[in-house]
Amino acid sequence: MFKRLKKYQFLFEELVKRDFKKKYKRTVLGMAWSVLAPLLQLLVMRLVFTQFFGRTSPHYTIYLFCGTLVFSYFSDATNQGMSSLMSNAGIFTKVNVPKYLFLFSKNVQALINFGLTMIVFVVFCVLDDITFTWRIVLLVYPICCLVLFNVGVGLILSALFVFFRDIQYLWGVFTQLLMYMSAIFYTIDSYSPPMQDLFLLNPVYLFIRYFRTIVIDMEVPPGWFHLLMLADSAVVLGIGCWMYKKYNTRFLYYV
């Protein structure tokens, strides 16, 4: 795969550039929206849950930011990845190129947006008197796992979207449900231990919790937590690769 990526490096770079230009075309603020969108969402949630629901726990803004940061990246990468094949059908139906290139370009764009928001996240942490320790370096691990997870979900969704257009509406409902199940704006401390364990079945919650544990609690999650995140990412990525390999030739007949 890496050899083929190198072979089509120029095409891949052009796809990333095109996606950026297309996304921010005719917008006044341009790429600034990649940072402003999650920030505005954060400010709204902060206002609602502090003023109307009385959330006053320490570092609650950072608690919210961790959730919105991770979930926004997941939502952005998967939603864009879902349509990556269909939106580029005019290319791969005429030229024999690896179809996963289109998905990868969408993920790179989402990752760049995530990186820009991470810079703002660090600034918010400083303003909220968060103490940075050597453990902050460990955030590289969940980010890498999240990249693999997003690619895997994107592979699955883009393949399904070719055959079933209804998947875009189902995914919209599912991501909204997933947002409420990821403990973005609430804690799970009030739930019983068995209920808290059920949250571990949600991979997105795992990534969010890892961020909060490192940044707010300044602790390192246990070894089993690392393995669970890696297993989720590996399984989803494996399923996505299998679907692309199995249905690769059939995509041409449905686009």
For the chain, the structural domain boundaries read 2-17+27-253
The 10s digit of each residue's pLDDT in 107-136 is 988 898 898 888 888 888 888 888 888 889
For residue 110 the two structure tokens come to 């989402």
| Eight-state DSSP code of residue 220 | P
Whole-model pTM?
Answer: 0.87
235 contact partners, CB below 8 Å, separation of at least 6: 152
> Cα–Cα distance between 199 and 84 in angstroms, integer?
30
Chain-centroid distance of CA 89 in Å reads: 24
| Eight-state DSSP code of residue 138 | G
> Cα–Cα distance between 89 and 98 in angstroms, integer?
12
170 phi, psi to nearest 5 deg: -65, -40
The 10s digit of each residue's pLDDT in 85-94 is 887 777 777 7
Confidence band, pLDDT 50/70/90 cuts, at residue 223: very high
The 10s digit of each residue's pLDDT in 5-33 is 666 666 667 777 776 666 666 655 556 66
Residue indicated by tokens 């580029």: 88
39 phi, psi to nearest 5 deg: -65, -45
Comparing 55-64, 98-107, 150-159, 203-212, the range with the smallest average pLDDT is: 55-64
> Cα–Cα distance between 67 and 172 in angstroms, integer?
18
